[in-house]
Amino acid sequence: MINRRYFLKGSFLAATGLVVLNPSKTFADDDHKYSGVVYTKDNPGKWSKKVKSHAPIATVEGNKITVKTMHGMSEPHYIVRHTLVGKDGIVLADKTLYPTDKAVSVFELDKAPKSFFVTSFCNKHDLWVSEYSS
């Protein structure tokens, strides 16, 4: 279990690096430059049947941002992490989840940004990203 967690954490960090290094191009390119690395509702790649249960959903109430992934949680298959990333690529908040948790993260910031990315990393179906704009 520990080795798998290190592997998943390393994979997540590498994929997040792609987002952080070039956030605007990551999701805006029509050629889907990061297909197979980062999945979205509009570009689910081989996981087209997994969009509803893997693409993260963000809601904003004041300075509180809630990230949900409509995904069951069990030891063999669960959401490992949620991350809130600013449009400039800076990670604003993150939460590591465990199979016993719900796939929900609540982040309270000094001020919620008007637009941002949220990530959801599944231990079986990779890194998913959604964009939020108010």
Q: What six digits make up the tokens of 29?
A: 């390119």
45-80 residue pLDDT tens = 999 999 999 999 999 999 999 999 999 999 999 999
Return the CATH number at 20. 2.60.40.730
Question: Which contacts (CB < 8 Å, 24+ apart) does range 47-52 have?
Answer: 47/125, 47/126, 50/125
Task: Give residue 6's pLDDT.
Answer: 57
Residue-wise pLDDT for 115-126, tens only, equals 999 999 999 999
Name the more confident of 23 and 59: 59
Check whether 29 has a pLDDT greater than 60: no
Q: Tens of pLDDT along 93-121? A: 999 999 999 999 999 999 999 999 999 99
Q: In sequence order, what are the beta bridge partners of 126?
A: 122
Domain range for 124: 2-133
Arithmetic mean of pLDDT, 2-22: 55
Residues in contact with 74: Cβ distance below 8 Å, sequence separation at least 6, in sequence order:
99
Report the domain count for the chain.
Answer: 1
